[in-house]
Amino acid sequence: MPNIKSAKKRVIVAETRRARNMAAKAAMKTQLKKFAAAVEDGDKSAAERELLASVSILDKTASKGVIHKNAAARRKSNLYRDYNNM
């Protein structure tokens, strides 16, 4: 455990950010699973709705620095590929 005041603060801030990042990642993964389920069912309109929501959440997580922007771009590319191959 740190003794210096600034080090103690860093521990608290790091834990807060970690919790926020974990929540953002969990929300992102849940949305991607919803899209995958819609594609699996073959429901084009539901898949389109989930695709737009998935792209939005990927952009948000990338802008917050939770995932890298190229990782978000790669995942969006894969989503569009899956949607177009339905």
pLDDT tens digits for range 25-41: 999 999 999 999 999 99
| pLDDT score of 14 | 97
Would you say 49 and 41 are in contact if contact means Cβ atoms under 8 Å apart? Answer: no
Which residue reads 């959440």 in tokens? 57
d(CA 25, CA 31): 10
d(CA 56, CA 11): 31
DSSP string, 8-67: HHHHHHHHHHHHHHHHHHHHHHHHHHHHHHHHHHT-HHHHHHHHHHHHHHHHHHHHTTSS
| pLDDT score of 49 | 97
Name the residue type at position 64. Answer: K
Domains of the chain: 5-84 (1.20.58.110)
Residue 62: pLDDT above 90?
Answer: yes
Q: What percent of the chain has pLDDT over 70?
A: 100
Residue 1: pLDDT above 90?
Answer: no
Average pLDDT, the chain: 97
- For the segment 27-56, the average pLDDT, to the nearest whole number, is 97
